[in-house]
Amino acid sequence: MQETKWLDDDERAAWMALASLIFKLPAALDAQLLRDNHLTLFDYFVLSALSMHPERAMRMSELAVFVSGSLSRLSNVAKRLEQRGVLRREPDPENARYTRAVLTDAGWELVVAAAPGHVAAVRRYVIDGLSEPQVEMLRQVGCQVARRVEENPIAC
């Protein structure tokens, strides 16, 4: 059995700062989106991802990777968003074995309405409190950690 390599004081402080961020930031962003648009952060990521793709559509499997969620979680969210009329699922026209998610016109309107408040919250909680070099460092650190965690990391 390998001996545990314990964190030193600086490593522990860095880990605790990141852990605090992991818990507090999503909750703050969720609260803003729920209050203003009745969306969770994950809902918003799904709708926003679709809004940026051609035909406002993606295969469910690709969308799950893009939003860093499991296919099971995405399916549950898609069902709820379908009930709201902001997303629909349909067979992929290129290969009917796949299902794709499509942003409806109502979904587009919701993303357009939600985006300014979400961006303002991201600026308030993250971007505006950092210098340009810190923003770049945040991107680099986020990408590096994500690459080590993800089986199929997306490009950063």
Q: Quote the mean pLDDT of the chain.
A: 94
User: CB-hemisphere CA count at 13 Å for 51?
Assistant: 18
- Condensed to tens digits (0 to 9), the pLDDT of residues 136-149 reads 999 999 989 988 88
CB 38 within 8 A of CB 20: no
Task: Kindly give, in sequence order, each residue whose CB lies less than 8 Å from that of residue 146, ignoring residues fewer than 6 positions away.
Answer: 153, 154, 156
Confidence (pTM): 0.88
- Condensed to tens digits (0 to 9), the pLDDT of residues 86-114 reads 999 999 999 999 999 999 999 999 999 99
pLDDT band of 6, cuts 50, 70, 90: very high
Residue of 130 and 154 predicted with greater confidence: 130
- Structure confidence at residue 150 (pLDDT): 78
Residue 44: pLDDT over 80: yes
Residue 124: pLDDT over 90: yes
- Condensed to tens digits (0 to 9), the pLDDT of residues 63-80 reads 999 998 999 999 999 999
- Structure confidence at residue 155 (pLDDT): 67
Residue 154: pLDDT over 80: no
- Reported residue count of the chain is 156
Could you give the percent of the chain with pLDDT greater than 90? 88
- Structure confidence at residue 46 (pLDDT): 97
Q: Cα-flanking dihedrals φ and ψ of residue 6, to 5°?
A: -65, 155
